[in-house]
């Protein structure tokens, strides 16, 4: 379980993960190897952060489109039963996307 970077990141966050990894690296290898490993680790962390930002941007775009759809339904100030169901579906979809963001799932 603790070999999985996603589990570690969820438990201690990115900074903590870097700290734990750096400590483990420094305890067993030469300085040159340690620096290479730290560089690789920094690249991995940067890549992971970029991926999460990309997922977040995608999720926010999706949510904005759903909110725009809800606003369109409300434009005429008359809501039919079918529109009520559509609104419920859209709200559920938005909640699921928020859940994906905060649980670390794919956006």
Tokens (6 digits) for 83:
């529109």
Please enumerate in sequence order all residues whose Cβ is within 8 A of that of 33, keeping only pairs 6 or more positions apart, or say none: none
- Please tell me the predicted confidence (pLDDT) of residue 35: 81
Answer yes or no: is pLDDT of 28 > 80.
no
Q: What is the mean pLDDT of residues 99-106?
A: 69
As a whole number of angstroms, the distance between CA 94 and CA 68 comes to 12
Q: What is the pLDDT of residue 1?
A: 53
DSSP three-state, residue 63: helix
pLDDT beyond 50 at 75 = yes
Mean pLDDT of all residues belonging to the chain = 80
pLDDT above 50 (res 62): yes
Return d(Cα 37, Cα 85) in angstroms, integer.
Answer: 53
78 versus 101: the higher-pLDDT residue is 78
Which sign does the torsion angle of CA 16, 54, 65, 107 carry?
Answer: negative
The domain locations on the chain are 5-103
What is the pTM for the complete model shown?
0.52
């Amino acid at each position: 379980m603790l070999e999985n970077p996603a589990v570690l990141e969820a438990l201690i966050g990115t900074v903590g993960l870097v700290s734990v990894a750096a400590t483990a690296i420094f305890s067993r290898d030469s300085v040159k190897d340690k620096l290479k490993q730290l560089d690789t680790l920094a690249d991995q962390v940067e890549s992971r952060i970029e991926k999460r930002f990309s997922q977040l941007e995608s999720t926010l775009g999706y949510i904005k489109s759903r909110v725009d759809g809800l606003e369109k339904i409300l434009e005429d100030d008359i809501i039919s039963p079918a529109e009520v169901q559509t609104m419920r579906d859209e709200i559920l979809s938005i909640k699921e996307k928020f859940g994906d963001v905060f649980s670390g799932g794919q956006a």
